[in-house]
Structure 1
Amino acid sequence: MREINILILSAGRRVELVQSFQKAAKRLNIKSNVLAGDCSETAPAIYFADKKVILPSINEPNYIDEIINVCKKEDVKLVVPTIDTDLLLLSEERERIESESGAVVLISSTEAVSICRDKINTQKFLEENGFKIPKMYSEEELDSKNIQFPLFIKPKSGSSSINTFKVNNLEELNTYRFLIKEPIVQDFMEGKEFTVDVFLDFNGDLITVVPRLRMATRSGEISKGKIVKDNEIIEDIKRLVKILKPIGHITVQLMKTNKGIKYIEINPRFGGGAPMSIQSGADSCENLYRLLRGEKIEYNENYRDNIMFFRFDNSICVDGNMEIIQW
């Protein structure tokens, strides 16, 4: 079997994701180097990879060139983005990267990414296609002050729940509208919040849908979660991806309220909590290796239900030469 090398971009703290690819390759008896790329030598994940790669920042003009160079040098077969700021650029440059390097870029179409990355586009897409989403208020409605609290405010192109707030009164609303760049204001939702890991093959055919109840979060990322095989959520997600047509691993956030399922956002990439679904049996990393070696995978729900995950911090120690110190 030929070598199938993987490049994970903006690896940061994605140690679990690196290890998930490594474990999948070992189970399948595939020779694979998992490369972790980042613009910082202090990114923890690069020290757990088979090879570390220091890349330019996404804002640098040679960012795409360097991705192509690494793919050619290391015979990379798959490029995996992990952060929102990479997505639009990678979707736009996908054809070039793939034609010049021979690697597959795990990115949805520019159209799908544009819908997901802009919260106003997301709102419009969901409303036009009959999905429930909290009401978004116009500037005129907010200025009229004829609104009911609580509300919820977030940036138009935000990520990781940065600058997202519950708004309890008019004073808070005015403060947050001033502080947040291009804010979006919606009704505040109450209910059970879910993150749903969805995996589709390179043709957009659905393989797995795994709802995870968000029991606790920290800095916008799940810290405690529970796999809940909720059929209502699964069926709604099936309808969603049939219209959106993404590929690869995507992460959908939604709320189950007393008025039904209401969507929060769609992230066309691996979310931070994706290893929970992977460990439950919906192994997107294994699926990707199998697809890359030409296998056909059918839709399945062969993952464990009603299991919980409690995430925690760990650390590594390096010396002045950035070499790991073993204890």
Structure 2
Amino acid sequence: MKNINVLILSAGRRVELVNCFKDARDSLGIKGNVVACDLSNTAPAIYHADKNYLVSRILDDNYIPEIVDICKKEDIHLIVPTIDTELYKLAEAREYIESNTSAKVLVSDMSVVKICRDKYNTQAFFEENGFNMPRLIDEEVIKNKDYKFPLFIKPLNGSSSINTFKVNNEKELEFFLEYVPEPIVQDFMEGEEYTIDAFVDFEHNPITIVPRQRLATRGGEVLKGLVKKDREIIETIKNVIKVLKPIGHITIQCMKTNEGIKFIEINPRFGGGAPISIKAGANSPMNLYRLLLGEKLEYSEEYEDGLLASRHDWAVFINSRGEQV
């Protein structure tokens, strides 16, 4: 069996994800390295990879050339992004990277990235295709005061729940419209919040769809999550994938409200809570290795319903010589 080398970008705190790729490789009996890179040598996940590199900032002109150099040096077969700010850059450079290396970039088409990264585009996508979202409170609605509190405000291109707030009154609305960069305002939703991990093959076919209820979060990332095979959510996500046509592992957030499913956002990448679904049996890293080996995958719901994840922090210790101890 040939070697398959994987490069995980912006590894940061994604220790679980790095280990999931290593475990999937070992379970399949594949040879090869899981390589991680990051801007900082204090990123804990790089020390759990087989090899690691430091790279420039994503918006730096050297970033893509550095990624290409790593791919050539390590004979990388798959590049895995992990944060939103990489997606535009990788979608733009995908053809260049793939034509100059042996690597496949796990990023959806630019049209998909544009829908997911811009909240107005996300709103338009869901509404135009018949999927429910909370009502957009635009400038005209605000001018006419045609809304009721509470509202919800977030940045147009935000991530990790940074600068997202529940708005309870006019005074707060006035303040947050000034405070939040490029704000987008919506009706506030009440209900059960879900993140759905979906894995989609390179021909846009869904392979696994795992709804997990968000029981507790911190900084936008799930601390406690419960896998629930919710039939309504699963069938709705199949329809979203059919229209959107992403590839790879994607995460979709929604609420189950008294008025039905209402969508929040789409992140066309591995989310921080992806290891929960992987542990349940919807193993996206393993599926990626199998696709790279030329296997044809079929849709499967063979994962554990009711799996509860309660996550915690763990430290990596580095001595004065830069060695993990």
TM-score interval for Structure 1 and Structure 2 normalised by the shorter chain? over 0.9
1:140 CA drift (Å): 2.3
Matched residue SS, 1:76:
coil
1:59 CA drift (Å): 1.6
Take 1:305 and 1:206, find their aligned partners in 2: how far apart are those partners? 18
Whether 2:47 is the aligned partner of 1:47: answer yes
Task: Point out 4+ residue stretches in structure 1 off by more than 6 angstroms.
Answer: none
Take 2:152 and 2:86, find their aligned partners in 1: how far apart are those partners? 26
Q: What is residue 154 of structure 1 aligned with on the other side?
A: 154
1:58 CA drift (Å): 0.5
Take 2:22 and 2:105, find their aligned partners in 1: how far apart are those partners? 19
Q: What is residue 38 of structure 1 aligned with on the other side?
A: 38
Q: Deviation digits for residues 42-97 of structure 1, max 9, x if unmatched?
A: 10000000001111111210110111110011000000000000001101111110
1:145 CA drift (Å): 2.9
Q: 2:198–2:249: 8 Å Cα contact kept in structure 1? A: yes
Query: What amino acid does structure 1 have at the position aligned with 2:271?
Result: G
Query: What is the 5 A alignment of 1:77-226?
Result: 77-226=77-226
Matched residue SS, 2:225:
strand
Q: What is residue 11 of structure 2 aligned with on the other side?
A: 11
Take 1:288 and 1:198, find their aligned partners in 2: how far apart are those partners? 13
Q: What is residue 24 of structure 2 aligned with on the other side?
A: 24
Matched residue SS, 2:296:
coil
Take 1:321 and 1:118, find their aligned partners in 2: how far apart are those partners? 43
1:279 CA drift (Å): 0.4
Take 1:142 and 1:8, find their aligned partners in 2: how far apart are those partners? 43
Take 2:50 and 2:102, find their aligned partners in 1: how far apart are those partners? 21
Whether 2:237 is the aligned partner of 1:232: answer no
Query: What amino acid does structure 2 have at the position aligned with 1:169?
Result: N
Aligned residues with identical type, % of pairs: 59
Q: TM-score, normalised to structure 2's length?
A: 0.99
Aligned length, in residue pairs: 325
Query: What amino acid does structure 2 have at the position aligned with 1:261?
Result: I
Q: Which ranges in structure 2 are unaligned for 5 or more consecutive residues?
A: none
Whether 2:52 is the aligned partner of 1:61: answer no
Query: What amino acid does structure 1 have at the position aligned with 2:84?
Result: D
Take 1:187 and 1:147, find their aligned partners in 2: how far apart are those partners? 8
1:5 CA drift (Å): 0.4
Take 2:256 and 2:86, find their aligned partners in 1: how far apart are those partners? 30
Query: What amino acid does structure 1 have at the position aligned with 2:10?
Result: S
Query: What amino acid does structure 2 have at the position aligned with 1:319?
Result: N
Q: 2:193–2:255: 8 Å Cα contact kept in structure 1? A: yes
Take 1:63 and 1:73, find their aligned partners in 2: how far apart are those partners? 15
Query: What amino acid does structure 2 have at the position aligned with 1:160?
Result: S
Matched residue SS, 2:154:
strand
1:203 CA drift (Å): 1.3
Whether 2:305 is the aligned partner of 1:302: answer no
Query: What amino acid does structure 2 have at the position aligned with 1:94?
Result: R
Matched residue SS, 1:323:
coil
Take 2:146 and 2:10, find their aligned partners in 1: how far apart are those partners? 44
Query: What amino acid does structure 2 have at the position aligned with 1:254?
Result: C
Take 1:56 and 1:273, find their aligned partners in 2: how far apart are those partners? 26
Q: Which ranges in structure 1 are unaligned for 5 or more consecutive residues?
A: none
Take 2:272 and 2:121, find their aligned partners in 1: how far apart are those partners? 23
Take 2:90 and 2:51, find their aligned partners in 1: how far apart are those partners? 22
Q: 2:137–2:147: 8 Å Cα contact kept in structure 1? A: no
Q: 2:9–2:82: 8 Å Cα contact kept in structure 1? A: yes
Q: Deviation digits for residues 121-145 of structure 1, max 9, x if unmatched?
A: 0000100000000000111221333
Q: TM-score, normalised to structure 1's length?
A: 0.98
Take 1:96 and 1:167, find their aligned partners in 2: how far apart are those partners? 44
Take 2:76 and 2:146, find their aligned partners in 1: how far apart are those partners? 56
Query: What amino acid does structure 2 have at the position aligned with 1:2?
Result: K
Query: What amino acid does structure 2 have at the position aligned with 1:68?
Result: V
Q: 2:153–2:184: 8 Å Cα contact kept in structure 1? A: yes
Take 1:299 and 1:60, find their aligned partners in 2: how far apart are those partners? 39
Take 2:316 and 2:124, find their aligned partners in 1: how far apart are those partners? 44
Query: What amino acid does structure 2 have at the position aligned with 1:189?
Result: M
Take 1:95 and 1:58, find their aligned partners in 2: how far apart are those partners? 18
